[in-house]
Structure 1
Amino acid sequence: MSSRAVLAGLVAAAILLSVSLAWRGVERVRREREAAALVQKADARLGAGLLEAPALDRLQASTARAALSQALELGVSDDQRTHVEGELDYARAIEALEEGDLPKAETALDSARARLGWTARLRVLAGTLAWRRTDLAEATLHANAALSLAPDDPRALLLSGALALARGEPKAALAALEGLARRVPKSGYVADRLGRAREATGDLEGAEAAYRDAVRLNERDLEAWIDLGRALRAAHQPELSKTAFSTALAAAHTPGEEAQARLGRGLAAMDLGLADAAAADFQRAADLAPNDPAPALALGDLYLRARRIDEALVYYREATDRDGQDPTAWLKLGNALVADAALDDAVRAFDKALALAPDLAAAHNGRGAALMHAGHPDAARKAFERAAALDPTDANPWLNLGLLDEAAHDEAAAREDWRAALARDPGSEVARAKLDAPAAR
């Protein structure tokens, strides 16, 4: 072969190599750009604000995971790989949270932290997972750490406020949620949580206003309608309350949501004297939520109010069967048993309530009533005094102490008891009648 031919071959090979390398370079750039676009898409999903995704488990984590996985397959730059892999772990953790698989979420979170270190949103996720495990102390630690990293982070503020409510610290919750509401004024979810904080501090008018803001901002927010219905019922507006719960019912998508709405609407109907409508809603709620004692308790209350004690007892017992760890169920069963003159059974029911909640003042008072009617005045007095000490605002223990002292012919002590009851409940007709009655001679 001539030297010219050899040279031509070498030139052609060089040209082909150059074209190949150029094509590869173009293809690499194209793939990196496509990968970058996918990463950007995933970041938008995972970084969505409270307006788009008020709770972590409402983030489009599966979409983000798919985009990040595809980006890694296409190839990302070396300086981006660790970040993308960490974000993929975060997406997997959120996805597991949505599925309710907490161990899987914890594992993915650990992987994300190993790659990214502690970031504010990883702290928020860790706090959320700890809260799901009912570990309020650890959840609070993570929430505080998130705020130290990003003091204005909306999700950190939301978590901090919610945890403060769960810890029984409504003022701290209010501070966090008021600040958040100023930053995200158009979020119905935030307005609803602000209402809960106001309600917990005793600001019922402010709570109702916040709940109204919540449903105005998001007419399909079932939780906000339920909270508004509850607030209106507490404000003695049963007709408006019933309407709010009916709206919540229209927004319900799951059996649990329907049960909540029907229970609330039934309570409002009961307040309006619509016994049949209330019973229908309570029964449907009981069918939808077979493990929840609340609908059975509501049915018991409905029949007790109608003095249908036998039927009330059936439903109160059903409530204790549904959840034997609910002190309220045992308390209400005890009260109904007192009304039925089944005094020994009543004492046992109150004892079970107090074993679960030793400081439940109403249970001490009910136990005292059962003991008083059973002819045990000394034990009854101790129970009434304990109830009065636990709840200084309740007139009932003082009314009962008055009955005890009256039965013991200690008129002076009885009148002091009536005065104490009237001071706590100026509308008490029993206390007023006792004090207005002529003194015995």
Structure 2
Amino acid sequence: MLRLPSLAVALLLLLAPRAAPGAESAAPAASPSPTPLTQEAKAAAERGAAAFARGDFKSARKAFAELRERMPGHPAALVNLASAEFRLGNGKEAAKLLDEAVHRDPDAPAPWLTLGIVRVSIDDLDGALAALAQAAYLDPNNPRAHAYLGVALGRKGWNDAAEGAFRRALELDPDAADTHFNLSLSYLQRNPPATELARRHYFRARDLGSKPDPQIEKRLEEAPAP
């Protein structure tokens, strides 16, 4: 089965300007506030971010719910709350919040990407495809958008398109173990299987830290020599 890339759902903060599309950093992506933050809103954002960072998602949800009350309709407040809900297993509630976020700020790629990730997780593949395609369109150099798009395409059974998305993701991030794994699985699903290509990407994934998959290894061992 295709693996979801091991990437955190985006957490958008209200405390700095929005990062440029495709920019990667150790910190979460940021989104600007259209109005100055009140001290109360800033404190809620900081409490939520700190709780999220330490894995206390219930406290993060509480703080981000307060932030949403203080800044109703602000896309970043909605995405923050959705991220906490998602981590608490409330995927459908997270998707509702993210639907509102992308409606309010349709040109921001991070909410679309987060919405796509959430919709993949709740098996809403059509919704995931729409969101992830938009994320990749708005931020074409973001490997995460292409990697998750490949997962959604693969789960729909559209293997050729999934391969293309995985290859694009690896062009942008050659060391993404989960994407190498997923591409190897896609190659094995060809008819006939592209065994040597699958072998190359599977063992590259293992070199990068991916967990072994006994079924794939058995298929590779049983494959005839080229």
TM surpasses 0.5: yes
Whether contact under 8 Å (1:223, 1:248) holds in the other structure is: yes
Which residue in 2 is equivalent to 1:393?
Answer: none
Distance 2:97 2:24 in 1: 21
For 1:27-66, what aligned pairs fall within 5 Å after superposition? 42-44=15-17, 47-49=18-20, 51-53=22-24, 59-60=27-28
Q: 2:90 aligns with which of 135, 141, 159?
A: 135
- 1:168 aligns to what SS in structure 2? coil
Give the 3 Å change call, closer, same or farther, for CA 151–215 of structure 1 in structure 2: same
Q: CA RMSD in A?
A: 2.8
Give the 3 Å change call, closer, same or farther, for CA 106–171 of structure 1 in structure 2: closer
Q: 2:64 aligns with which of 95, 101, 109?
A: 109
Give the 3 Å change call, closer, same or farther, for CA 208–91 of structure 1 in structure 2: farther
Give the 3 Å change call, closer, same or farther, for CA 81–210 of structure 1 in structure 2: closer
- The count of residues paired between Structure 1 and Structure 2 equals 204
Q: Aligned-pair distance for 1:205? A: 0.5
Q: Aligned-pair distance for 1:50? A: 5.7
Quick check: 1:95 aligned with 2:50?
A: yes
Q: Aligned-pair distance for 1:122? A: 1.2
Which residue in 2 is equivalent to 1:246?
Answer: 203
Which residue in 2 is equivalent to 1:86?
Answer: 41
Which residue in 2 is equivalent to 1:229?
Answer: 184
Distance 2:63 2:175 in 1: 33
Distance 1:226 1:91 in 2: 37
Whether contact under 8 Å (2:181, 2:202) holds in the other structure is: yes
Which residue in 1 is equivalent to 2:4?
Answer: none
For 1:182-201, what aligned pairs fall within 5 Å after superposition? 182-201=137-156
Q: Aligned-pair distance for 1:197? A: 1.8
Q: Whose helix proportion is higher, 1 or 2?
A: 1
Whether contact under 8 Å (2:73, 2:104) holds in the other structure is: no
Supply the AA of the counterpart residue of 2:218: M
Give the 3 Å change call, closer, same or farther, for CA 234–114 of structure 1 in structure 2: same
Supply the AA of the counterpart residue of 2:57: L
Q: TM-score, normalised by structure 1?
A: 0.42
For structure 1, list consecutive stretches of 5 or more residues without a partner in the other structure: 1-41, 65-78, 253-257, 276-441
Q: 1:176 aligns with which of 128, 131, 155?
A: 131
- 2:197 aligns to what SS in structure 1? helix
Distance 1:142 1:201 in 2: 25
Which residue in 2 is equivalent to 1:166?
Answer: 121
Give the 3 Å change call, closer, same or farther, for CA 88–221 of structure 1 in structure 2: farther
Supply the AA of the counterpart residue of 2:81: A
Whether contact under 8 Å (1:239, 1:268) holds in the other structure is: no
Q: Percent identity?
A: 23
Give the 3 Å change call, closer, same or farther, for CA 202–121 of structure 1 in structure 2: same
Whether contact under 8 Å (2:199, 2:220) holds in the other structure is: no
Q: Aligned-pair distance for 1:185? A: 0.9
Deviation string, structure 1 residues 315-346 (Cα, Å, up to 9, x no partner)? xxxxxxxxxxxxxxxxxxxxxxxxxxxxxxxx
Distance 1:118 1:138 in 2: 16
Give the 3 Å change call, closer, same or farther, for CA 60–152 of structure 1 in structure 2: closer
Q: Aligned-pair distance for 1:81? A: 6.0
Give the 3 Å change call, closer, same or farther, for CA 118–242 of structure 1 in structure 2: same
Q: Larger RCO: Structure 1 or Structure 2 (Cα < 8 Å, ≥ 6 residues apart)?
A: 2
Give the 3 Å change call, closer, same or farther, for CA 106–183 of structure 1 in structure 2: same
Q: Higher Cα Rg: structure 1 or 2? A: 1
Quick check: 1:124 aligned with 2:79?
A: yes
Whether contact under 8 Å (1:214, 1:224) holds in the other structure is: yes
Deviation string, structure 1 residues 43-99 (Cα, Å, up to 9, x no partner)? 04xx33562349xxx5359xx9xxxxxxxxxxxxxx9561x6524532432332232
Which residue in 1 is equivalent to 2:105?
Answer: 150
Q: Aligned-pair distance for 1:130? A: 1.5
For structure 2, list consecutive stretches of 5 or more residues without a partner in the other structure: 1-14
Give the 3 Å change call, closer, same or farther, for CA 112–203 of structure 1 in structure 2: same
Whether contact under 8 Å (1:225, 1:248) holds in the other structure is: yes
Supply the AA of the counterpart residue of 2:120: L
Distance 1:81 1:160 in 2: 25
